[in-house]
């Protein structure tokens, strides 16, 4: 924490603007400022990025609404400069058609929320209200930080946590569930500003969720967000996460506009999907016909004894999942066991123990590293 | 590499590749099919590359990782070309000797050659080995010669010449006529003539039209489609393009089972390379014809292999079948005319166009032309993939090619057609393998699974196995299939536990009749076949389970018990170590016994007991309640 932050703290006393709106569309500027002024906020407007930056430098607005598509300086550039020159301002991005790319990009640059035109006045007011409370929180933290040097670390944490919240908001777009969760976290952050350690933990959880949702987005993008690619998307998700977590399924449901119920029908119908976490390694014992007549049931008992779990189970450390399959297409070597991608012809107990042990060792090494 | 703009470009490229290849005197073809990979074929191929490099022979000898050679039982397989010298079960330590042999003709490789048990002679050549000698390898022939990941290999063996021929000199109608004339019947199960299906789609109203490869291969015990797609993906692709041309389709799909990642990778690579060379995409070989293909992964459901279910799955929905009165060839994918054929069916098309319908018709029987690949597995000595002309007797496949039953056991039955097929007993072994002949005896051709069963296989258990499989895989949409299978399974489980009654057999017959008549799709309609055929040919076995509470194959665990024959036991302790539940007891004076109350009858002790002792024995369960040692032992030998 440095001088700029302290300055920001001092600034807090000088009654800044509530909202600065930057957009090239006059009608939009007018409509928004009217709505906000009626709501009792102090509002200023600017028609392009350069003008907007200048104004922001002079009047230190708490919330900045900015359009992504403007002639001259682009919205993203503006966003980048704005967060640098005035870190306490809370930027909200407005765009004609919200695409994932610009959402993610602007989120990376520090946008707090994302409004897609056209929107209801209530939506605007709600967003600004939340932005203002975040801004107050930010400034409070900065002020306190200025006063107490030795507690900077903690405030750092708070700020980071809040930033993550902001990022998650903008990724969350209109997702109710995530919004509710985040709103709850936000109020927690406010009331328990002392227990910042907690926030750190939640921050990590949110970060994880955010990263997971991003990965899900990347997967869906591979299939151009096509509805009919659902099974392919789910196969990729299953491969990546080793199961189909609920929050990802509801995310997909929103993105591809498929009812969650239908996604669950598919997840239940096909064998490839698992609704519970699977182990990092999969051990498949083939019980296809060729393997069955050559004594697969004995092989299964052997494998199950070595692993200490039954078919269909995962061990408590989520290392191994044991399952039976109807033919893995290696019938000439029946009975066959597949461990990850390697096939084994009726492995003996000691062979199995050796393979399992080497996998465990790999795991342990990966943990250390 | 630039796009091929005309058929002449393709020919020029082919000549260049062949000229380049001829510079090398020899090729070492290491089988990198799934089976051989399990035996360590990858490291073996690496060892060859290293050794050749070390000896400075890289200019003269090339190494090629190929698709499945078929003789999976004896892998990893190595074939030296062009002489076709064949080495079985080679390990990296054998590499120097094999190279010596390839270069100088001398090398200590005798142990790697096939041993003919009758004559005691070692056979060094592919064509001499009985497993290959009695086959007729048309589709599989190129698996040994090409690296599936390299389109140039396929082109070098004549690949895409059929496509060039069709695009430059044949109308779509002419291609269709050739396939119709050949009477190529679907290899995926039903044996429906491909040409007639193509014509239906061609004539059907609606654009665009789709062509689809069915590589779902749900039949447990079969892996032909996998090996073709893994070993020679371009042959399937070329067939698909030819089909699209004949039908007038602009888009194609390859529906691959999720369990086959290598097949998927190779298919994807084939698509990519074909696109690069202008054999897929816009304006193929300058003909004006455009066509492209996507891969769709199945997500694991047997019923999704059925045509309408498969198309629903591609549409991203639950893969359930719909009633047959709307044919997918007229209204399939997204309601458009769609032609679905099996991998093997498509792979045959280039050869038929290239060599002509008459060539194809010269193989096989009156009504079943060409060759068929079978996955010869189960209780047979030479397991693997075999390709034979239609009409060859089952006996030849199992005994001449397969080498008969291992461990001196007696043949009991062979199962064909997977869960929709049936068992065929010894008395019918001279039956020619062909579509209609197999159906007449209550089985079917199916996709090519051929599971051999010996005296240690229980027929009631086999029926129970299939019904259990089908009950699990039934989509549950129609009552006859869902409930019929549930009832059948309950009855069969009762019988295998020794609680069956004779009237149960009549109920099974009734259920079978009802399911066959009233089920929605072929899964339910053919589901009773495994039961009906075992009942027909092995009724005695059912009766033995019901009346005597005895499973003479020693499979039905409820009806058997394990015991240790003290006279034969050498107290080695192998059974004790093998038992997963600690049911083997060792007394102070080293007498081993099995505690029946703890025993879960997994058979681990039975397998662990050394062959020379055979002290662990199976006895009928009812005998152990009264007397300790068993007079009535069941046949010995591993399951
Ligand atoms: C339950 C069920 C499963 C099937 N599974 C497969 C399969 O895995 N592979 C296949 O090629 N055909 C399968 N079929 C047959 C297909 O419905 C279809 O007839 C076939 O793919 C057509 O190709 P063909 O005419 O070349 O044989 C299945 C049929 C049913 C009823
Ligand atoms: S039956 Fe086990 S691999 Fe095919």
Question: pLDDT tens across B82-92, in order?
Answer: 889 999 999 99
Domain end residue (candidates: A92, A114, A144): A144
Q: Give backbone dihedrals phi and psi of A282, rounded to 5 degrees, phi first.
A: -110, 130
Q: Measured in angstroms, how far is the CA atom of residue B472 from the centroid of ligand 2?
A: 17
pLDDT at B192: 94
**Which residue do the tokens 């007018």 mark?**
A30
pLDDT at A231: 95
The mean pLDDT value for B188-212 works out to 94
CB < 8 Å to B578, chain A: 349
pLDDT at A179: 61
**Residue B356 and residue B12: Cα distance in Å, rounded?**
23
Give residue A9's pLDDT band: very low, low, confident or very high (50, 70, 90). Answer: very low
pLDDT tens figures, B453-494: 999 999 999 999 999 999 999 988 889 999 999 999 999 999
pLDDT tens figures, B305-352: 999 999 999 999 888 887 766 788 889 999 999 999 999 999 999 999
Of A285, A291, A295, best ligand 2 pocket probe by most atoms within 8 Å of the beta carbon: A291
Indicate if A32 and A79 belong to the same structural domain: yes
pLDDT above 70 as % of chain A: 77
The CATH H-level superfamily of B8-135 is: Glutaredoxin (3.40.30.10)
As to burial, measured by CB atoms within 10 angstroms (0-12 exposed, 13-18 middle, 19+ buried), residue A38 is exposed
The mean pLDDT value for A232-250 works out to 93
CA proximity to B365, closest of B405, B392, B325: B392
**Residue A143 and residue B613: Cα distance in Å, rounded?**
87
Indicate if A105 and A167 belong to the same structural domain: no
Ligand sitting nearest the alpha carbon of B255: 1
**Bond prior to B76 in cis (omega within 30° of 0):** yes
pLDDT at A177: 59
Parts of chain B belonging to CATH 1.20.1440.230: 459-547
Q: Is the pLDDT of residue B148 over 70?
A: yes
- Who has greater pLDDT, A155 or A132? A132
Q: Do B378 and A334 touch (CB under 8 A)?
A: yes
The verdict on residue A289 lying in a domain is yes
Domain end residue (candidates: A269, A298, A328): A269
- Who has greater pLDDT, B560 or A107? B560
Q: Under CATH, what is the fold of the domain B459-547?
A: de novo design (two linked rop proteins) (1.20.1440)
pLDDT tens figures, B439-455: 999 899 988 999 999 99
The shortest C-alpha distance from A314 to chain B (Å) reads: 19
Q: Is the pLDDT of residue B175 over 60?
A: yes
Indicate if A57 and A128 belong to the same structural domain: yes
Give residue B30's pLDDT band: very low, low, confident or very high (50, 70, 90). Answer: very high
In the structure encoding, which two tokens stand for residue A50, read together? Answer: 């350069």
B95-109, B215-229, B496-510, B519-533: the lowest-pLDDT one: B95-109
Indicate if A291 and A249 belong to the same structural domain: no
Indicate if A123 and A200 belong to the same structural domain: no
Best to test chain B binding among A275, A290, A295, A342 (most B CBs inside 10 Å): A290
**Bond prior to A118 in cis (omega within 30° of 0):** yes
Q: Is the pLDDT of residue B132 over 70?
A: yes
In the structure encoding, which two tokens stand for residue B531, read together? Answer: 């039961």
pLDDT at A196: 61
**Residue B73 and residue B639: Cα distance in Å, rounded?**
18
pLDDT at A28: 87
Ligand sitting nearest the alpha carbon of B197: 1
Domain that holds residue A353: 281-368
Q: Is the pLDDT of residue B520 over 50?
A: yes
Q: Name the CATH code of domain B151-361 (choices 3.20.20.70, 3.60.90.10, 3.30.470.20, 3.40.50.11540).
A: 3.40.50.11540
pLDDT at A10: 42
- Who has greater pLDDT, B301 or B78? B78
Q: Under CATH, what is the fold of the domain B557-632?
A: Alpha-Beta Plaits (3.30.70)
Parts of chain B belonging to CATH 3.30.70.20: 557-632
CB B353 within 8 A of CB B175: yes
Q: Is the pLDDT of residue B639 over 70?
A: no
Residues comprising chain B, all counted = 639
Q: Give backbone dihedrals phi and psi of A285, rounded to 5 degrees, phi first.
A: -105, 125
Q: Bridge-partner residues for B81, per DSSP?
A: B27
Indicate if A232 and A293 belong to the same structural domain: no
Q: Is the pLDDT of residue B366 over 70?
A: yes
Number of structural domains (chain A) is 3
The verdict on residue A295 lying in a domain is yes
The verdict on residue A126 lying in a domain is yes
The verdict on residue A12 lying in a domain is no
The verdict on residue A50 lying in a domain is yes
pLDDT at A284: 96
What's the CATH code of the domain at A61? 3.40.50.2300
The verdict on residue A10 lying in a domain is no
CB < 8 Å to A295, chain B: 603, 607, 638-639
Q: HSE-up of A256 (CA within 13 Å, CB side)?
A: 30
pLDDT above 90 as % of chain B: 78
Q: Do B315 and A326 touch (CB under 8 A)?
A: no
Nearest CB to B578: which of A326, A345, A349? A349
Indicate if A101 and A64 belong to the same structural domain: yes
Does ligand 2 have an atom closer than 6 angstroms to the CB of B40?
Answer: no
pLDDT tens figures, B228-285: 999 999 999 999 999 999 999 999 999 999 889 999 999 999 999 999 999 999 999 9
CA proximity to A194, closest of A158, A236, A223: A158
| Helix (H), strand (E) at residue B411 | strand B411-416
| Range with the largest mean pLDDT of A16-30, A353-367, B166-180, B470-484 | B166-180
Q: Do A298 and B607 touch (CB under 8 A)?
A: yes
Longest dimension (CA), chain A: 85
Q: Name the CATH code of domain B371-454 (choices 3.10.20.600, 1.20.120.140, 3.40.50.300, 3.30.930.10).
A: 3.10.20.600
Helices (H), A192-334: 196-222, 230-241, 246-256, 260-269, 289-293, 296-307
Q: Is the pLDDT of residue B495 over 90?
A: yes
Q: Is the pLDDT of residue B198 over 90?
A: yes
Give residue A90's pLDDT band: very low, low, confident or very high (50, 70, 90). Answer: confident
Q: Is the pLDDT of residue B301 over 90?
A: no
pLDDT tens figures, A254-300: 889 999 999 999 999 998 999 999 999 999 999 999 999 999 999 99
Indicate if A137 and A40 belong to the same structural domain: yes
pLDDT at A2: 43
Helices (H), B66-171: 95-104, 130-133, 151-156, 161-169
Q: Bridge-partner residues for B211, per DSSP?
A: B252, B339
> Per-residue DSSP letters for A164-229?
HHHHHHHHHTT-HHHHHHHHHHHHHHHHTTT-HHHHHHHHHHHHHHHHHHHHHHHHHHHTTT-GGG
Parts of chain B belonging to CATH 3.40.30.10: 8-135
Indicate if A99 and A68 belong to the same structural domain: yes
As to burial, measured by CB atoms within 10 angstroms (0-12 exposed, 13-18 middle, 19+ buried), residue B206 is middle
Share of chain A residues as helix, strand and coil, in percent rounded to the nearest 5: 60, 10, 25
pLDDT at A95: 76
**Residue A69 and residue A22: Cα distance in Å, rounded?**
11
Mean pLDDT of chain A: 81
Close Cβ partners of B8 (under 8 Å, ≥ 6 residues apart)? none
Parts of chain B belonging to CATH 3.10.20.600: 371-454
The mean pLDDT value for B518-524 works out to 89
- Who has greater pLDDT, A189 or B50? B50
| Helix (H), strand (E) at residue B348 | helix B343-355
Parts of chain B belonging to CATH 3.40.50.11540: 151-361
**Bond prior to B82 in cis (omega within 30° of 0):** yes
The verdict on residue A362 lying in a domain is yes
Indicate if A229 and A313 belong to the same structural domain: no
pLDDT tens figures, A94-120: 877 656 567 667 777 778 777 877 788
Longest dimension (CA), chain B: 87
The verdict on residue A78 lying in a domain is yes
What's the CATH code of the domain at A326? 3.40.30.10
- Who has greater pLDDT, B320 or B30? B30
Give residue B633's pLDDT band: very low, low, confident or very high (50, 70, 90). Answer: low
Q: Is the pLDDT of residue A161 over 80?
A: no
CA distances from B86 to B93, B94, B103, B109, B128 (A): 17, 13, 14, 10, 10
CA proximity to A332, closest of B382, B159, B107, B168: B382
Close Cβ partners of B391 (under 8 Å, ≥ 6 residues apart)? B364, B365, B368, B432, B433, B434
Nearest CB to A293: which of B302, B379, B473? B379
The shortest C-alpha distance from A329 to chain B (Å) reads: 5
Minimum Cα–Cα distance from A268: chain B residue: B318
**Residue A297 and residue B604: Cα distance in Å, rounded?**
10
**Residue B72 and residue B376: Cα distance in Å, rounded?**
10
**Residue A244 and residue A276: Cα distance in Å, rounded?**
7
DSSP code for B369: B
pLDDT at B24: 84
pLDDT tens figures, A25-78: 888 889 888 989 888 889 999 988 888 888 888 888 889 998 888 888 888 888
**Which residue do the tokens 């990546």 mark?**
A240
Angle among Cα B39, B41, B44 to the nearest 5 degrees reads 120
Pairing between β-strand B422-425 and β-strand B449-454 as defined by DSSP bridges? unpaired
Indicate if A241 and A301 belong to the same structural domain: no
First to last CA, chain B: 55
Q: Is the pLDDT of residue B505 over 90?
A: yes
As to burial, measured by CB atoms within 10 angstroms (0-12 exposed, 13-18 middle, 19+ buried), residue A343 is buried
Exposure b/e, B339-361, CB count within 10 A at least 16 = b: bbbbbbbbbbbbbbbbeebeebb
Rounded to the nearest 10°, the torsion over CA B592, B597, B602, B606 is 20
> Per-residue DSSP letters for B594-612?
E-TTT-----HHHHHS-TT
| Helix (H), strand (E) at residue A245 | none
pLDDT at A191: 66
């Amino acid at each position: 924490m440095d001088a700029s932050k302290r300055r920001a703290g001092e600034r807090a006393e000088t009654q800044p603007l509530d909202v600065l709106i930057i957009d090239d569309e006059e009608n939009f500027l007018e409509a928004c400022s009217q709505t906000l002024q009626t709501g009792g906020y102090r509002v200023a407007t600017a028609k392009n990025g350069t003008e907007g930056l200048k104004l922001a430098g002079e009047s230190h607005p708490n919330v900045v609404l900015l359009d992504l598509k403007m002639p001259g300086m682009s919205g993203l550039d503006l966003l980048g400069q704005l967060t640098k020159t005035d870190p306490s301002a809370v930027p909200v991005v407005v765009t004609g058609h919200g695409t994932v790319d610009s959402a993610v990009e602007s989120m990376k640059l520090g946008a707090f929320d994302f409004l897609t035109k056209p929107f209801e006045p209530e939506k605007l007011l709600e967003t600004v209200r939340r932005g203002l409370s975040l801004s107050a929180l930010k400034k409070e933290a900065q002020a306190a930080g200025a006063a107490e040097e030795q507690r900077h670390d903690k405030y750092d944490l708070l700020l980071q946590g809040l930033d993550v919240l902001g990022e998650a908001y903008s990724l969350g777009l209109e997702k109710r569930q995530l919004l509710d969760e985040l709103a709850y976290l936000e109020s927690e952050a406010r009331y328990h500003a002392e227990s910042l350690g907690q926030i750190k933990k939640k921050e990590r959880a949110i970060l994880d969720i955010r990263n997971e949702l991003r990965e899900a987005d990347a997967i869906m993008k591979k299939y151009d967000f096509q509805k009919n690619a659902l099974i392919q998307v789910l196969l990729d998700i299953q491969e990546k996460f080793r199961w189909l977590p609920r929050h990802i399924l509801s995310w997909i449901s929103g993105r591809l506009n498929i009812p969650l119920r239908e996604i669950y029908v598919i997840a239940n119908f096909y064998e490839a999907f698992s609704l519970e976490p699977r182990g990092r390694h999969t051990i498949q014992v083939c019980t296809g016909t060729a393997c069955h007549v050559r004594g697969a049931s004995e092989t299964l008992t052997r494998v199950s004894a070595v692993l200490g779990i039954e078919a269909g189970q995962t061990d408590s450390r989520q290392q191994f999942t044991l399952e039976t399959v109807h033919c893995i297409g290696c019938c000439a070597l029946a009975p066959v066991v597949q461990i990850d991608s390697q096939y084994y012809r009726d492995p003996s107990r000691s062979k199995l123990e050796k393979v399992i042990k080497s996998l465990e060792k790999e795991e342990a090494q990966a943990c250390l590293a | 590499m630039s796009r091929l703009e005309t058929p002449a470009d393709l020919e020029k490229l082919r000549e260049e590749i062949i000229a380049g290849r001829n510079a090398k005197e020899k090729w070492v073809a290491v089988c990198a099919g799934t089976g051989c990979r399990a035996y360590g074929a990858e490291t073996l191929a690496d060892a060859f590359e290293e050794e050749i490099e070390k000896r400075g022979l890289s200019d003269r000898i090339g190494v090629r990782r190929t698709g499945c050679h078929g003789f999976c039982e004896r892998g990893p397989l190595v074939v030296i070309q062009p002489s076709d010298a064949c080495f079985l079960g080679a390990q990296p330590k054998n590499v120097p000797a094999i190279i010596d042999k390839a270069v100088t003709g001398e090398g200590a490789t005798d142990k790697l050659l096939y041993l003919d048990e009758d004559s005691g002679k070692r056979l060094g050549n592919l064509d001499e080995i009985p497993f290959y000698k009695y086959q007729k390898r048309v589709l599989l022939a190129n698996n040994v010669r090409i690296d599936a990941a390299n389109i140039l290999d396929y082109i070098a063996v004549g690949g895409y010449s059929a496509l060039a021929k069709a695009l430059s000199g044949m109308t779509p109608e002419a291609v269709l006529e050739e396939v119709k004339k050949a009477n190529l019947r679907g290899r995926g199960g039903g044996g429906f003539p491909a040409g007639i299906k193509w014509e239906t789609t061609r004539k059907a109203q609606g654009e665009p039209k789709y062509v689809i490869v069915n590589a779902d291969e749900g039949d447990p015990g079969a892996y032909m489609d996998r090996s073709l797609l893994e070993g020679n993906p371009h042959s399937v692709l070329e067939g698909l393009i030819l089909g699209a041309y004949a039908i007038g389709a602009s888009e194609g799909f390859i529906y691959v089972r999720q369990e086959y990642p290598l097949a998927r990778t190779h298919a994807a690579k084939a698509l990519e390379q074909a696109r690069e060379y202008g054999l897929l995409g816009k304006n193929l070989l300058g003909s004006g014809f455009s066509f492209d293909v996507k891969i769709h992964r199945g997500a694991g459901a047997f019923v999704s292999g059925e045509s309408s279910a498969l198309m629903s799955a591609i549409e991203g929905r639950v893969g359930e079948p719909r009633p047959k009165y709307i044919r997918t060839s007229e209204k399939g994918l997204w309601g458009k005319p769609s032609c679905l054929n099996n991998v093997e069916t498509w792979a045959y098309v280039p050869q038929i166009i290239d060599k002509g319908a008459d060539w194809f018709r010269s193989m096989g029987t009156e009504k079943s032309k060409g060759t068929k690949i079978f996955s010869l597995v189960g209780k047979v000595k030479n397991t693997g993939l075999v390709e034979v002309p239609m009409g060859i007797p089952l006996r030849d496949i199992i005994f001449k090619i397969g080498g008969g039953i291992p461990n001196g056991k007696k043949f009991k039955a062979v199962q064909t057609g997977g869960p929709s097929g049936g068992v065929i007993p010894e008395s019918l072994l001279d039956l020619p393998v062909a579509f209609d002949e197999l159906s007449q005896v209550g089985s079917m051709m199916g996709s090519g699974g051929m599971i051999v069963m010996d005296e240690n296989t229980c027929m009631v258990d086999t029926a129970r196995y299939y019904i259990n499989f089908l009950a699990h895989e039934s989509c549950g949409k129609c009552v006859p299939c869902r409930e019929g299978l549930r009832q059948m399974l309950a009855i069969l489980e009762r019988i295998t536990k020794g609680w069956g009654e004779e009237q149960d057999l009549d109920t099974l017959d009734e259920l079978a009749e009802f399911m066959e008549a009233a089920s929605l799709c072929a899964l339910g309609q053919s589901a009773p076949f495994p039961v009906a055929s075992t009942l027909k040919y092995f009724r005695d076995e059912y009766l033995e389970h019901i009346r005597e509470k005895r499973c003479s194959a020693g499979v039905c665990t409820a009806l058997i018990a394990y015991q240790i024959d003290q006279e034969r036991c050498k107290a080695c302790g192998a059974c004790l170590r093998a038992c997963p539940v600690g049911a083997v007891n060792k007394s102070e004076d080293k007498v081993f016994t099995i505690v029946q109350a703890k025993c879960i009858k997994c058979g681990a002790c039975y397998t662990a007991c050394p062959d020379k002792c055979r002290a662990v024995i199976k006895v009928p369960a009812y005998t152990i309640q009264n007397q300790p040692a068993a007079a009535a032992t069941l046949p010995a030998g591993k399951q």
